[in-house]
Each structure stands twice: as structure tokens, then as C-alpha cells.
């Protein structure tokens, strides 16, 4: 049963110029292939992966290439005419409410937001998958890795393509499961297992928020379709308005888990335990972008007066806290991947803060550019780790010469992340600053002003830690073991590709000059009505750039040389702050002592008790019954019954044989005598009995 819900109407006059929306034609109608192809690739790899010449890698990468090409074709073919298309396929009816039947549906959305996400997953995914062939070469679970990787990307695509909240949860959880498999890919090491479990459980706790939000919204509106929920918001549905604050807050809690906002951020740095391509994809395209995507998808709920707009204050505060505090931790990390991980947290804080400021476009544009340069940075870091066989920057240094490709691409990524003109990070960060500044003047008040200051400080910190990472890794003396070498071409080419994108995708959204990205994202069934910069705010751009340059300068001063500046570096160790940062604000300790131990202890004791008394009791009882039965069977039936009968038969046969043997004398005449005697007896018998 297919219920088609293709809605076509011109966007209303509002923040955006009215654009004719297209239904997308056959391209959109076949877009269900986008999530299905990677998932199909996953199944084929699981079943037959090892029989392929590249052990399943080509299938996974091919599926990503398909997604990338499909989404780019969608983008280009509808460049001037955004698509807004939805399709629902009914799967089951689960109940009737006053507001309508609750239906479980599968479907797909093709609109500006989802196509942008398809493109991010497809393009970054393609580069990362290609790169992973080199990085995972010789891994004993190579094929399984690519199966999980395909599931990871496929789950994200299911999430992004979801036109209803149930499917969104399915994709959300597929991503969670795949991340568990991938973080724990090298499960032989206990620490990796612990990191995988931590990621999974932290997400699961936050997911409760998502579930609560989805259930309330579904029950109140009577439909799980996102379109219906947003229609209710648009129509000013009073039943929804009563609970909208809680729905919006609960959904945001779910988003905080996946997008690793404080205080749910603790899983993300530990997720570095996975192979580097996993970190790259997780931090760039899939997983952590899911929360921001969810807020973006539900944006009208957060942007409509009387519905969830009060939650935006929470979002902007959480985002600002995350961007500042996690950015500071990145300053003291020695593990290059952890520097990037905390950097990701900080950038996710930017995205959330932008969402909180009502800047849909700015938040998602930063998601887009961040996907490119953070994917690049992780891959480059992986290339360094591949060459040095260590994660620690204290084992690196001077890698500029032996690893030129890695160095230059890492530099491009770092500058983009720091927000240096004209690389992509400059444009997206400036857009965020401009949006928060706008919010400060239009209802955001003091909170938004404070967040603007925090965001500018964050830009300084970002530039600082990236400068530190570049100097420690690529300059000075090499401090590790062995001879570092450049990675194979299968790894460096994706670096170059992503570096090109990192440098250029910012031009897609130059406020006041050309903003195809903004127009594209506005192509949705529902009016977004966000604020986005109409022109470059030259003052803020100058401040942002100056702050970033200052950060680079400070980082350069402190970390330019190795030995000579040890004292200077020690001066950087500010007494109270430094230990606080080193211990990551004691979040992990508080969680372990305050939550995990108190819960784990009684549970462990209860499990132990039930193990000793209940399960063991059952097992022992079954064992005793089995023993008793076997005794009866062996002693009574087998030994005395069956064996006795068999022995009796055999004994009788033996005795009979022994008796009959005597007749066999071998004397012919005795036999003949018996013959004649028998004949005579027969004759007598016939005569008598006739």
C-alpha cells in the first residue's frame, strides 16, 4: 500500500525569496536507493565479501560512490529549483487515537536539507572508504570492518531520509549499533571495548529523551510524520502547543547525545579507540551530525513562537558551554586524535549555538564545511599515525619532510578549521558569529551577547590548538622510533580530494555575493524563517580573523621549537586550570563514581546473587534430575533389562550350537543312516496319519 504525499507549493514570501519547489521527478522517486544501496552492500559483504578480489572493500566504496554521484546529480539537476518530495509506504497500523490512526511507515525525503546530508555522507564517505583500504590493509577483520562501515553510512542515510520519526529512530539506532561495532573493532584490547560500551550507553541514555519527544509528538499529533508535526506547528495546534516545550526539549536531549553536547560529550573522545577512518567518518559525516540534523529537520518547532522557541535558550547555552570547555581541553591533549576529537566537540558546540540562535542555515553550513575539513584532518592524522605507529604528538615532530602530502593537506584542514580567509571554515564560522550577533540584537538579549563573546574566544582557542598540533607534529625534531614514511597513494589521494573541498566549499555561501547553499537549504515543505546573514559583516569577520590569527601566533610562539621553549611551555601550565583540563573537568570521574559505580555495584551484586542461587540452582537441579534418570536407565533398563535379554539369547544360541555340533561327525555313512531313518519316519508318518 503506497500513500503518496507529494506536495507542491511555492514557498511563501518571507525570509527567503519565493522559489518554485520541484517534485524532483524520477530522480526523487528513486531516491530510496540512497539508503538501500549501502545497506544492501553491507549484506552482500557479510555473506560473500571475502570472495571478492578486494575483500568487500570495492562494494562498500562503490555504494558510497553511488550515493555521492546520486546526490550530486540531484543537486546539479535542480540547482535553481529546489526539490521538496516525500514518499510514504505504509508498513503497519498500530492503533487508533482520537487524532487519527497510528501508522508505521517507511519513506524517504528529498529536499534541500536531506540532499545536503546525502552529499556529505556520500562524498566524505567515498573518500574515507577509499582511504580505509590503505589504512586497514592487513587487518584480520578487514571484510567485517567494511560491512560495519557500510552499515554505519547506511544507517545515517536511513536517518537522513526519514520522513517520519519512527524511521528516524531506526536510523538513529542503526548508527548507534554500527558505531559500537566500529569503535570496538579492535576488541582484543579491553580499553577499546570499554570505549565502545561507553559510547553506546551514553547515547542510549540520551536516546530516552528522543523516544519521549517522539512518543509525545506522535500521540498528540496523531501521526509520526514529521510533515504532520510541523504542519501542526504551522497551524498553531493548541494541543501540541501545550506540550511543545517538552517535546522540543526531549528531542534536544536526544540530539545532545548523538551530537555529543555537554554533559553527554564524554563518549566522543573515547571513541578515538576505533580505527582512524571510523573517527573520520563519525566526526565528519555520520553520527555526530545526526543531532544537529535532527534540530534542523524539526527547526520550525524550535523557531515558532509559543512552541519550542524557549528551548532555543537551552540550546544556545549548551552549545556555547560545549564549544568553550571542550575547546580548552584540546589544548592539553597529547594524542593527535584526541586533539581533533575535542576540536569536533567544540565545533559541534558552534553548530548547536547557531541552531540556538535561530540560525538554521549557519548551523548546517558549518556542519557541511566541518564535515569536509574535519574528515580531512582525521584522515591526515591517520596517515601520520600510519607512518609513525603512535598516536602521541610527543612521538612525532619534523614530519613535514617525509610526509609532504599529509603535511600540506593537514595544513589546509587546520587553516580551514581555524577560520582563515578564504578557506571554508572562514565562511561558516563568520556566518555563525553574524547570526549570533543578530540574535543578540533581536530577542536573544544578554545570553546571545555572552555566547557571541564565548564564540569569539572559541575561535581563538581553535586556532591555538590547531597551531599547536601542526607545530608539534610537522616541525622540529622527529622524536619517535623508526623512519616515518609517506602513506600509499590510496591514502594520500583522498587527502588531496578532501583538501580541495575544504578549501573551496566555503564559496557556496558567501553572504551578499552568492548564496546557493542558503537557497538550497530553504527548499523544504515548511517555511524555515531563520535569520541568515544578508551580507558579510565586515566588522565581525575582521574580529574573527584577527582572533584566529592571534591564536595561531600564540600557538606558534609556544610550540615552535622543541627543547628551547620547554620553560615557556611550562608557563602555559597554569596551576589550577591545567590539571582541570588534563582531567577533563573530572567529568569521567564524576560519572564513574556518581553514576556508574552506584548503579553497577548493586546490579553486579544482584546478578551475582541470582547467578549463585537462581541460575546455579536451576542448573544443579537439572543436573541432579539427569543423573537420577541416567542411573535408572543405566542400572535398571540397560544393565538388567536389555543386556540380560541379549545375553540370554546369545547364550541359548551358543548352547544350541554346542549341542548340534556333536551331530557333525564328518562320517558319511552316519549322515546317510540319518537320511534313511528320516525317510522311514516320514513314511511311517504318512502311513499312520494318511
Helices and strands in the chain: count of H runs, count of E runs: 29, 3
Considering the complex, state which of residue 577 and residue 679 has its C-beta at the smaller distance from other proteins: 679
Query: How many C-beta atoms lie closer than 10 Å to residue 254's C-beta?
Result: 27
Considering the complex, state which of residue 73 and residue 672 has its C-beta at the smaller distance from other proteins: 672
CA–CA distances in Å: residue 606 to residues 198, 599, 600, 611: 22, 11, 10, 8
Nearest in space to 123 (alpha carbons), one of 80, 179, 66, 76: 66
| Closest approach of other proteins to the CB of residue 667, in Å | 6
Considering the complex, state which of residue 483 and residue 661 has its C-beta at the smaller distance from other proteins: 661
Q: What φ, ψ does residue 237 adopt, rounded to 5°?
A: -55, 120
| Closest approach of other proteins to the CB of residue 679, in Å | 10
| Closest approach of other proteins to the CB of residue 674, in Å | 10
60's grid cell = 562498500
Residue pair 11/21 in contact by the 8 Å Cβ criterion: yes
| β-sheet bridge partners, residue 87 | 4, 108
Instruction: Tell me the C-alpha distance between 327 and 347, whole Å.
Output: 8
Instruction: Tell me the C-alpha distance between 147 and 301, whole Å.
Output: 36
Instruction: Tell me the C-alpha distance between 337 and 421, whole Å.
Output: 25
For other proteins, the binding residues (CB under 8 A) are 661, 664-669, 672-673, 676
Considering the complex, state which of residue 26 and residue 668 has its C-beta at the smaller distance from other proteins: 668
Instruction: Tell me the C-alpha distance between 104 and 100, whole Å.
Output: 13
For the chain, how big is the Rg over CA atoms in Å? 35
Considering the complex, state which of residue 236 and residue 673 has its C-beta at the smaller distance from other proteins: 673
Considering the complex, state which of residue 92 and residue 660 has its C-beta at the smaller distance from other proteins: 660
| Closest approach of other proteins to the CB of residue 673, in Å | 5
CA–CA distances in Å: residue 307 to residues 132, 232, 237, 440, 526: 44, 10, 10, 20, 15
Considering the complex, state which of residue 51 and residue 661 has its C-beta at the smaller distance from other proteins: 661
Considering the complex, state which of residue 594 and residue 673 has its C-beta at the smaller distance from other proteins: 673
| Closest approach of other proteins to the CB of residue 669, in Å | 5
Query: How many C-beta atoms lie closer than 10 Å to residue 125's C-beta?
Result: 32
Considering the complex, state which of residue 482 and residue 673 has its C-beta at the smaller distance from other proteins: 673
| Closest approach of other proteins to the CB of residue 654, in Å | 14
Residue with cell 592539553: 332
Spatial neighbors of 499 by CB under 8 A, at least 6 apart, are 376, 408, 409, 412, 413
Considering the complex, state which of residue 608 and residue 665 has its C-beta at the smaller distance from other proteins: 665
Instruction: Tell me the C-alpha distance between 176 and 168, whole Å.
Output: 12
Residue pair 525/111 in contact by the 8 Å Cβ criterion: yes
| Closest approach of other proteins to the CB of residue 655, in Å | 15
| Closest approach of other proteins to the CB of residue 682, in Å | 15
Query: In a 3-state reduction of DSSP, which class is residue 82?
Result: coil
| Closest approach of other proteins to the CB of residue 659, in Å | 12
Instruction: Tell me the C-alpha distance between 569 and 203, whole Å.
Output: 37
Considering the complex, state which of residue 603 and residue 672 has its C-beta at the smaller distance from other proteins: 672
Nearest in space to 293 (alpha carbons), one of 116, 175, 41, 448: 116
| Closest approach of other proteins to the CB of residue 686, in Å | 16
Query: In a 3-state reduction of DSSP, which class is residue 637?
Result: helix
Query: In a 3-state reduction of DSSP, which class is residue 458?
Result: helix
| Closest approach of other proteins to the CB of residue 670, in Å | 9
Amino acid at each position: 500500500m503506497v500513500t503518496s504525499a507529494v506536495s507542491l507549493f511555492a514557498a511563501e514570501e518571507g525570509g527567503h525569496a519565493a522559489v518554485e519547489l520541484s517534485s524532483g521527478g524520477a530522480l526523487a522517486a528513486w531516491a530510496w536507493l540512497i539508503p538501500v544501496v549501502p545497506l544492501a552492500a553491507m549484506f552482500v559483504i557479510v555473506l560473500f565479501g571475502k570472495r571478492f578480489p578486494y575483500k568487500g572493500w570495492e562494494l562498500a566504496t562503490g555504494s558510497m560512490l553511488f550515493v555521492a554521484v546520486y546526490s550530486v546529480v540531484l543537486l546539479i539537476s535542480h540547482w535553481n529549483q529546489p526539490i521538496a518530495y516525500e514518499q510514504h509506504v505504509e508498513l503497519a497500523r498500530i492503533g487508533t487515537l482520537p487524532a487519527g490512526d497510528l501508522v508505521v511507515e517507511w519513506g524517504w525525503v528529498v529536499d534541500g536539507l536531506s540532499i545536503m546530508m546525502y552529499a556529505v555522507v556520500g562524498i566524505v564517505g567515498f573518500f574515507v572508504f577509499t582511504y580505509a583500504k590503505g589504512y586497514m590493509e592487513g587487518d584480520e577483520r578487514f571484510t567485517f570492518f567494511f560491512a560495519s562501515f557500510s552499515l554505519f553510512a547506511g544507517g545515517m542515510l536511513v536517518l537522513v531520509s526519514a520522513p517520519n520519526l519512527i524511521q528516524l529512530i531506526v536510523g538513529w539506532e542503526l548508527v548507534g549499533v554500527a558505531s559500537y561495532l566500529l569503535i570496538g573493532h579492535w576488541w582484543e584490547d579491553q580499553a577499546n571495548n570499554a570505549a565502545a560500551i561507553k559510547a553506546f550507553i551514553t547515547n542510549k541514555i540520551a536516546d530516552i529523551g528522543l523516544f519521549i519527544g517522539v512518543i509525545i509528538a506522535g500521540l498528540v499529533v496523531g501521526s509520526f510524520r514529521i510533515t504532520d508535526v510541523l504542519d501542526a506547528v504551522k497551524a498553531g495546534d493548541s494541543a501540541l502547543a501545550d506540550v511543545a516545550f517538552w517535546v522540543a526539549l526531549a528531542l534536544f536531549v536526544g540530539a545532545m547525545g548523538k551530537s555529543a553536547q555537554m554533559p553527554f560529550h564524554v563518549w566522543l573522545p573515547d571513541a578515538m579507540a576505533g580505527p582512524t577512518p571510523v573517527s573520520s567518518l563519525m566526526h565528519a559525516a555520520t553520527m555526530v551530525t545526526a543531532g544537529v540534523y535532527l534540530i534542523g529537520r524539526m527547526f520550525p518547532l524550535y523557531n515558532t513562537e509559543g512552541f519550542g522557541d524557549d528551548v532555543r535558550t537551552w540550546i544556545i547555552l549548551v552549545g556555547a558551554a560545549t564549544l568553550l570547555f571542550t575547546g580548552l581541553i584540546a589544548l592539553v591533549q597529547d594524542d593527535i586524535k584526541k586533539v581533533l576529537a575535542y576540536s569536533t566537540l567544540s565545533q559541534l558546540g558552534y553548530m548547536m549555538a547557531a541552531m540556538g540562535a535561530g540560525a538554521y542555515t549557519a548551523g548546517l553550513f558549518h556542519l557541511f564545511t566541518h564535515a569536509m575539513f574535519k574528515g580531512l584532518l582525521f584522515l591526515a592524522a591517520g596517515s601520520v599515525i600510519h607512518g609513525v605507529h603512535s598516536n602521541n604528538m610527543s612521538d612525532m615532530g619534523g614530519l613535514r619532510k617525509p610526509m609532504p602530502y599529509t603535511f600540506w593537506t593537514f595544513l589546509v584542514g587546520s587553516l580551514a578549521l581555524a577560520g582563515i580567509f578564504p578557506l571554508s571554515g572562514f565562511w561558516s564560522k563568520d556566518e555563525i558569529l553574524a547570526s549570533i550577533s543578530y540574535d543578540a540584537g533581536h530577542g536573544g538579549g544578554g545570553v546571545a551577547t555572552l555566547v557571541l563573546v564565548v564564540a569569539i574566544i572559541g575561535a581563538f582557542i581553535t586556532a591555538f590548538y590547531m597551531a599547536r598540533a601542526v607545530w608539534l607534529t610537522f616541525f622540529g625534531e622527529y622524536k619517535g622510533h623508526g623512519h616515518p614514511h609517506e602513506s600509499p597513494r590510496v591514502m594520500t589521494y583522498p587527502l588531496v580530494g578532501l583538501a580541495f573541498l575544504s578549501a573551496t566549499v566555503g564559496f557556496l555561501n558567501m553572504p551578499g555575493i552568492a548564496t546557493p547553499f542558503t537557497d538550497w537549504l530553504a527548499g523544504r515543505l515548511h517555511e524555515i524563517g531563520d535569520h541568515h546573514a544578508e551580507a558579510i559583516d565586515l566588522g565581525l569577520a575582521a574580529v574573527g580573523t584577527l582572533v584566529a590569527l592571534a591564536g595561531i601566533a600564540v600557538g606558534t610562539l609556544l610550540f615552535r621549537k622543541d627543547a628551547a621553549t620547554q620553560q615557556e611551555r611550562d608557563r602555559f601550565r597554569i596551576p589550577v586550570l591545567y590539571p582541570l583540563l588534563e582531567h577533563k573537568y573530572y567529568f569521567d570521574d564524576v560519572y564513574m563514581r556518581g553514576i556508574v559505580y552506584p548503579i553497577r555495584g548493586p546490579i553486579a551484586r544482584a546478578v551475582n546473587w541470582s547467578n549463585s542461587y537462581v541460575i546455579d540452582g536451576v542448573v544443579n537441579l537439572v543436573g541432579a534430575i539427569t543423573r537420577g534418570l541416567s542411573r535408572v536407565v543405566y542400572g535398571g533398563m540397560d544393565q538388567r533389562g536389555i543386556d540380560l535379554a541379549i545375553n540370554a539369547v546369545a547364550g541359548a544360541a551358543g548352547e544350541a550350537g554346542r549341542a548340534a555340533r556333536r551331530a557333525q561327525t564328518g562320517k558319511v555313512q552316519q549322515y546317510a543312516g540319518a537320511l534313511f531313518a528320516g525317510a522311514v519316519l516320514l513314511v511311517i508318518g504318512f502311513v499312520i496319519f494318511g
